[in-house]
Structure 1
């Protein structure tokens, strides 16, 4: 984790920002809960556990700065809540998500599935793509198995 924090610190410095203690506390929470797709409020509550002096407004400003610098991505899965996801280091694009409509679980696909689609869009629509996001909404494998088990019991 320390090497990742050091790289984020360098990213901030390259844009003339410092990794203040408040920003570091926020980054640490995001790293510790990387799979969780936390909302700003979730991040704040976790930051507050370790650093009670840090306020909600500071966490919001930090998340917005990290989003602006493309260190984190701000995402919405259709539930009206913005969530924050650390961008995979060295990734050319944002990773994809699978959102379960039954249990709400969010799984990630790290593999970029849209390379060919991007080429077609750029060629046919003369549109220069800078990034993309793909979210699939459906039923996760856990819920599918749970539903299969219920139907077997009947």
Structure 2
């Protein structure tokens, strides 16, 4: 996963895919088709507006998830949301305990819901909490990044 001038991406979680953008328009289509099948009056303009409104709301949700819940690891940088952490600062990945009050990468108070935490010891002996859906894959990718 590289392009001209970019680093190799060792691990990536986008935060959200584009599929949720279809939910609103599909809901509106089902509503319109149910009016057609039931033989009552149809409201194509209303259903179109409902589909567009739901698409707009969902696009904001997808954008936020892609911006704040994305995880990306290159050989030099671990990105958690919008926060970068230089890989060279990571001193230890395995067998690190998570003390109470450890800083969560990405700027949140806690690890995002539905994500697992991965405690990392930094070069200044502090512990931070990285997070990912697949912590074991992130851990192995961090080992690979630290070797290179």
TM-score, normalised to structure 1, is 0.28
User: With CA pairs under 8 Å and 6+ residues apart, which has the higher RCO, 1 or 2?
Assistant: 2
TM-score, normalised to structure 2, is 0.28
Q: Name the structure where strand makes up a greater proportion of residues.
A: 2
Q: Name the structure where helix makes up a greater proportion of residues.
A: 1
Which is greater in Rg?
Answer: 2
